[in-house]
């Protein structure tokens, strides 16, 4: 299905002016902060509230069923209510939750607690960050092992 953007920004959400994305029938299927190229592989499902696409998000494939998309690149899978259903590694550690996410350059980063960095930055800085956040030596080793697992899964 072909999609097109409205000529002008039509709504405001969270203080951001947004364009509407229209399907071939002229129905609003999504709202976006910026205009971008929409791949033929993207399908916006119209039976739910239109998704909101913010920042530098790129959608290259998949089914979009509402939700909010804040930055990153979506390459495939299915998004329902904002949850990307391609399984990304997630670990509940003893101090904080950690998970993988897409970086704007197409790589993979890690979020531990509320700190977001590339895998390489985590490898370089995890001991210092752990100490700054009052992790015990055992917890620093634990999170170092998680970071190693992320690097084995995502770094080529």
CA distance linking residue 65 with residue 85, whole number of Å = 11
Find the mean pLDDT for residues 3-25. Answer: 87
pLDDT in tens, 84-115: 445 678 899 999 999 888 776 767 899 999 89
**DSSP-assigned letters across all residues of 7-56:** SS--EEETTEEEEEEE-TTS-EEEEESS--PPPTTEEE-TTSPPPEEETT
Q: Residue 135: which pLDDT band, with cuts at 50, 70 and 90? A: very high
pLDDT given at position 89? 85
> What pLDDT shows up at residue 114?
87
Structure tokens given for 94: 């003893």
Give me the residue spans of the domains in the chain.
4-84, 90-154
CA–CA separation, 59 and 71 (whole Å): 10
Q: What is the pTM of this model?
A: 0.49
End-to-end CA distance of the chain: 34
**pLDDT per position as a tens digit, 58-76:** 666 666 666 666 655 565 5
Euclidean distance between CA atoms 76 and 141, whole angstroms? 34
**CA geometry: angle at 53 spanning 67 and 18, to 5°?**
120
């Amino acid at each position: 299905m072909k999609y097109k953007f409205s000529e002008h920004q039509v709504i405001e959400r969270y203080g951001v002016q947004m364009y509407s994305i229209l399907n071939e029938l002229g129905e609003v299927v999504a709202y976006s902060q910026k205009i971008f190229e929409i791949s033929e592989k993207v399908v916006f499902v119209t039976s739910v509230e239109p998704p909101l696409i913010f920042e530098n998000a790129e959608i290259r494939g998949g089914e979009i069923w509402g939700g909010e998309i804040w930055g990153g690149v979506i390459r495939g899978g299915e998004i329902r209510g904002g949850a990307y259903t391609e399984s990304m590694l997630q670990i509940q550690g003893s101090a904080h939750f950690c998970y993988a996410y897409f970086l704007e350059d197409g790589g993979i980063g890690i979020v531990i607690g509320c700190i977001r960095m590339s895998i390489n930055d985590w490898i370089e800085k995890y001991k210092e960050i752990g100490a700054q956040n009052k992790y015990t030596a055992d917890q620093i080793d634990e999170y170092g092992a998680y970071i190693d697992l992320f690097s084995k899964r995502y770094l080529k």
